[in-house]
Homo-oligomer: A and B are copies of this chain.
Amino acid sequence: MHRVDPSLSRIPVPSEELAALPDGTAVELHGMVQRIRRLSWGAFVVLRRHDGLVQCVVPAEAAGDAMSRLREEQSVLFRGTLRKAGIKDVSIRLRTAELQVEGVEFLCTPDEPPSVDLTKKVLELNLDTSLDLRPVSLRHPVERARLRIADALCHGFRQYLRSAGFTEIHTPKICFAGAEGGANIFKVQYFDRQAFLAQSPQFYKQMAVAFFERVFETGPVFRAEPHQTSRHINEYTSLDLEMGFIGGFADIMATETALLASMMEHLRGACSYEIDLLGARLPAVPPSIPAVTLAEAHSIAGAASGRDYSAEPDLEPEEERLVCEHASREWESEFVFVTHFPTSKRPFYTMDDPDNPGTTLGFDLLFRGLEVTTGGQRIHEYGMQVEKLKSFGLDPADFDSYLMAHRAGLPPHGGLAIGLERLTARILDIENIRLATMFPRDAKRLTP
């Protein structure tokens, strides 16, 4: 027997702590070589660290034969001295100091140069190439920063909800039935049976309201959507919440308002480097977000485009853009809720509006031209849920374990789901949501 040496648990020094060290401090930094600019006296080497890039000055005499062996994407350990500097390049995280290198250790040298030119300011690859080469293209500071923004949004989502009395849950992704209906569901061979991949954690988060009152989940959901669009991927991260004891569906919209404000505040604090680098314009979340009914949204879009949308049961992408433009211009809000979609267009668990038959107490949240959230009040009474299942042509017996929750009693409740990739893409003004996720899946793409 021996004991594990606890001193081996070492945390790399954050860039902010490096910035605070006195001029002339001796440090060791490890990282991967992002770029090399060779000059007569040596080289500027930009090192990729866990939290961003740092500039290193490598004089030829200090590096010895190391200078000729330096390669991009090498893993190295640099020993040297921190010197004050004023660096303007926003891709560099540590801009007030640079490392004067005195010793170099090579930890791993790749066999060949990277298949993507990672030294460019912006990757100029077409989408498919960038995605095919993602294990390499994600090493570019811009691509990497986008994922850090998504990470901070996810963290901000959890952080706010925990502070607001929510409990995190982990629900099964292999399911006995689809929650959202329709044909866009993946089938899994589950031993001797057929099962499905979860389209949403809907059933389970509703069940959980009975024991935790307020729950959230940040997990993958799966939609067998065959169409290739810039706003769909087949596996995405759903930021889900569900809450009991609501007075009505406006409570959920109010909760989302507070949640989004908190998420943006967290993002601003946690990702100032990435925000600068990406030139991201974070939205202001108004204390009170405007809401329109679907009928009103159709009128607004119709007035702007000259088309008549009034018979449409849903919002077209073009309308989402027009309504957002209107909300920005007239109401000074980049967010706008659209409510009262027709019963036929919303899943069977949605509560109908007793005051407006045929419409539902549900909403979408539009942001910069795109639907980023769907939510609403759910049916909590057993009898009402059974009736609605039947009216949708579904057999309540197929949903027995779900209805068990209603039979045993549920409080009035509702919830929502935010698409993490969509929200990230709109904040960063990324045209295609594939670039807001690490390794996207679509009908044509199963790798990397």
Query: Which residues from B are CB-within-8-Å of A248?
Result: 8
Contact A410 B169 (CB under 8 A): no
Residue of B nearest to A383 (CB): B111
Q: A115-B404, A254-B4 are in contact. Are A176 and B247 (CB under 8 A)?
A: no
Query: Which residues from B are CB-within-8-Å of A321?
Result: none
A-B contact pairs, 21 of them (CB 8 A): A4-B289, A7-B254, A9-B254, A9-B258, A31-B213, A50-B166, A51-B165, A108-B381, A111-B383, A111-B407, A134-B207, A135-B401, A135-B405, A139-B210, A139-B408, A147-B167, A147-B212, A154-B170, A172-B441, A173-B173, A173-B235
Stretch at the interface among A85-93, A186-194, A351-359: A186-194
Q: List residues 118-137 of chain A with CB under 8 A from any CB of chain B.
A: 132-136
Copies of this chain in its oligomeric complex: 2
Contact A186 B211 (CB under 8 A): no
**A377 within 8 Å of B (CB atoms):** no
Q: A75-B411, A162-B155 are in contact. Are A139 and B211 (CB under 8 A)?
A: yes
Partner of A382, one of B12, B111, B187, B337: B111
**A244 within 8 Å of B (CB atoms):** yes
Residue of B nearest to A11 (CB): B164
Residue from A151, A254, A408 having most chain B Cβ neighbours under 10 A: A408
Query: Which residues from B are CB-within-8-Å of A12?
Result: 165, 213-214, 245
Interface string of A43-72 (1 = CB under 8 A from B): 000001111000000000000000000000
Interface string of A385-418 (1 = CB under 8 A from B): 0000000000000001110110111111000000
Interface string of A167-208 (1 = CB under 8 A from B): 111111111100000000011111101010100000110011
| Closest 6 pairs between A and B when the two form their complex, measured CB to CB | A110-B409, A401-B448, A75-B411, A50-B213, A8-B254, A73-B409
Query: Which residues from B are CB-within-8-Å of A235?
Result: 172-174
Stretch at the interface among A96-104, A218-226, A342-350: A218-226
Contact A411 B108 (CB under 8 A): yes
Query: Which residues from B are CB-within-8-Å of A143?
Result: 211
Majority-rule SS of A interface residues: mixed
A50-B213, A108-B381, A135-B401 known; 4 new pairs, CB 8 Å cut-off, are: A30-B245, A111-B382, A172-B220, A172-B439
Contact A50 B438 (CB under 8 A): no
Contact B382 A224 (CB under 8 A): no
Query: Which residues from B are CB-within-8-Å of A287?
Result: 6
Query: Which residues from B are CB-within-8-Å of A48?
Result: 211
Query: Which residues from B are CB-within-8-Å of A115?
Result: 404, 407-408
Query: Which residues from B are CB-within-8-Å of A329?
Result: none
**A292 within 8 Å of B (CB atoms):** yes
Contact A174 B446 (CB under 8 A): yes
Contact A168 B197 (CB under 8 A): no
Partner of A257, one of B9, B135, B189: B9
**A81 within 8 Å of B (CB atoms):** no
**A253 within 8 Å of B (CB atoms):** yes
Query: Which residues from B are CB-within-8-Å of A187?
Result: 188-189
Q: List residues 1-51 of chain A with CB under 8 A from any CB of chain B.
A: 1-12, 14, 30-32, 48-51
Query: Which residues from B are CB-within-8-Å of A2?
Result: 290-291
Q: A5-B288, A290-B3 are in contact. Are A411 and B32 (CB under 8 A)?
A: yes
| Bound CA span A437–B174, Å | 14
Query: Which residues from B are CB-within-8-Å of A224?
Result: 191
A68 to chain B, nearest CB (A): 18
Contact B188 A439 (CB under 8 A): no
**A360 within 8 Å of B (CB atoms):** no
Contact A4 B50 (CB under 8 A): no
Contact A250 B111 (CB under 8 A): no
Contact B408 A73 (CB under 8 A): yes
**A255 within 8 Å of B (CB atoms):** yes
Residue of B nearest to A439 (CB): B172
Q: A210-B139, A219-B220, A290-B2 are in contact. Are A167 and B188 (CB under 8 A)?
A: no
Interface string of A223-243 (1 = CB under 8 A from B): 010100000001101000000
| Bound CA span A367–B314, Å | 54
Contact A404 B331 (CB under 8 A): no
